[in-house]
Amino acid sequence: MGFQHYKNVEIRGLAACVPKNIEDNRQSQLFSTDDQKKMFIETTGVISRHVIANRDICSSDLCFEAANKLMYELNWKREEIDCLIFVSQTPDYIMPATACILQERLGLSNECFAMDISLGCSGWIYGVSTVAALLQNGYFKKGLLLAGDTSTVTKSKKDKSTYPLFGDCGTATALQYKKGCVGFKAHTATDGKGYKAIYIPHGGFRTFYNSRSSKEIEFPDGNIRTNLHTILDGPTVFTFGISKVPLSISGLLKHFNIDIELIDYFIFHQANKILNEQIRKKLKLPVEKVPYSIEYYGNTSSASIPLTMVTKLKNKLESGNCRLIACGFGVGLSWGTIYFETNNIICPEIIEI
């Protein structure tokens, strides 16, 4: 079974950066009726989102700002960073790995372990697991996880099933070796059968960019996309979410014998309000233990969990101990849950550029 326990590693800080440009769904011209717009906002929970204005900002730029701020606040020296993991599906280039570019931009040592992970909604969970695995034996002492996406770039502005749902964000998570601390108890899982539930048909090497790639196609639901835009099969993702996520969380709690009542907060990937609320209700969690950032940031892919923590739990995280469950789920299909504890971590105010 997909359970793991990464010991001796803790989170020391979290930071998030968004573009300052805001798009408000209440002003959107995409919907054919007001009723349709109202229902969209009520169902997804997305009122407005931070969206890059002119393709002038990459995910790595947002992560770079978050990492700089976080290292400064933590008083971490650049040469102390032993590993850098960049989680994104909107990298700078097809090659090389964006983590290599970020190593240089951030002024990290040449002795730094750096690589990219291509995951989205589950990405922060996999990123934390990977950094924790690298740090757990104490050879490496400090690691940076940079997770974020400029998802709006991959969505068609004429597609009301995707464009108004997503927002752009980059985050930085600082992890450190600490002998004896509880670390991360994890459950991770994959179902590649659903790979077409969220995907971009062209532009990779299975179907390389060609003359048909950027041709606009009108779909039966009235949405217009090209083959370089994300297709999102909402109902498939929805049934996946309500089936697998509660089982992943209850399975983790049972496997590690964790009392659900002792958890202070459950931080979920911000998929959409109706899906997240259904998961919350199935697990019988009280509203106050399940924070949301989706209202004013949208679905921010791999940034959603740290973004929710920075925007909704800053004060709690900075002053005292928290027992937390975080769960990411989506594109892949891929999902994962971690249990971890924090103790007075550094959590700077959200950055806007």
Closer by beta carbon to another protein, 35 or else 261: 35
Closest approach of another protein to the CB of residue 36, in Å: 6
User: Does position 141 bind another protein by CB under 8 A?
Assistant: no
Residues 232, 125, 132, CA angle at the centre, nearest 5°? 155
Q: What's the number of CA atoms in the CB half-sphere (13 Å) around residue 324?
A: 26
Q: Please identify which residue in 25, 44, 188, 227 interacts with another protein, judged by CB under 8 A.
A: 44
Smallest gap, in angstroms, from Cβ of residue 314 to another protein? 31
Chosen residue from 109, 207, 243, 343 binding another protein by CB under 8 A = 243
- Residue 43 contacts another protein per CB under 8 A: yes
Contact 307, 297 (CB under 8 A): yes
Check: CB of residue 188 under 8 Å from CB of residue 125.
yes
Q: At closest approach, how far in Å is the CB of 282 from another protein?
A: 8
Q: Give 244-276 as a DSSP string.
A: HHHHHHHHHHHHTT--GGG--EEEE----HHHH
239 binds another protein (CB under 8 A): yes
Any bridge partners for residue 18, and if so which?
352
> Given the rule CB under 8 A, which of 6-14, 254-262, 269-277, 317-325 is the region that contacts another protein?
269-277
Q: State which of positions 65-94 bind another protein (CB under 8 A).
A: none
In this structure, the number of other CB atoms found within 10 A of the CB of residue 312 comes to 16
In terms of CB distance, is 183 or 241 closer to another protein? 241
Strands 351-352 and 9-18: parallel
Interface segment toward another protein; rule CB under 8 A; list 82-90, 134-142, 277-285, 325-333: 277-285
Under the binding rule (CB under 8 A), the answer on residue 221 touching another protein is: yes
Q: Identify the residue among 113, 199, 238, 296 touching another protein (CB under 8 A).
A: 238
CB of 207 to another protein, least distance (A): 24
List the structure tokens of 55.
Answer: 């393709």
Q: Which of 3, 20, 36, 207 is in the footprint of another protein by CB under 8 A?
A: 36
Alpha helices in the chain (DSSP H): 34-44, 59-74, 98-105, 123-135, 234-255, 273-282, 294-297, 304-312, 314-318
| Residue 278 near another protein by CB under 8 A | yes
Closest by CA to 53, choosing from 129, 157, 135, is 157
Binding region for another protein (CB under 8 A) out of 73-81, 275-283, 284-292, 307-315: 275-283
Distance CA 172, CA 105 (A): 14
Nearest distance from C-beta of residue 278 to another protein, angstroms: 5
In degrees to the nearest 10, what's the CA dihedral of 127, 128, 130, 132?
160
Residue 277, CB-side half-sphere exposure with 13 Å CA sphere: 8
Does position 236 bind another protein by CB under 8 A? yes
Q: Quick one: which of 47, 224, 242, 263 contacts another protein (CB under 8 A)?
A: 242
Pairing of strands 168-177, 9-18: antiparallel
CB of 293 to another protein, least distance (A): 20
Total residues at interface with another protein (CB under 8 A): 23
Q: In the complex with another protein, which residue's Cβ is closer, 85 or 279?
A: 279
Backbone angles phi, psi at 102, to 5 degrees: -65, -35
**What is the contact surface with another protein in residues (CB under 8 A)?**
35-36, 39-40, 42-44, 161, 221, 233-236, 238-239, 242-243, 272, 274-275, 278, 281-282
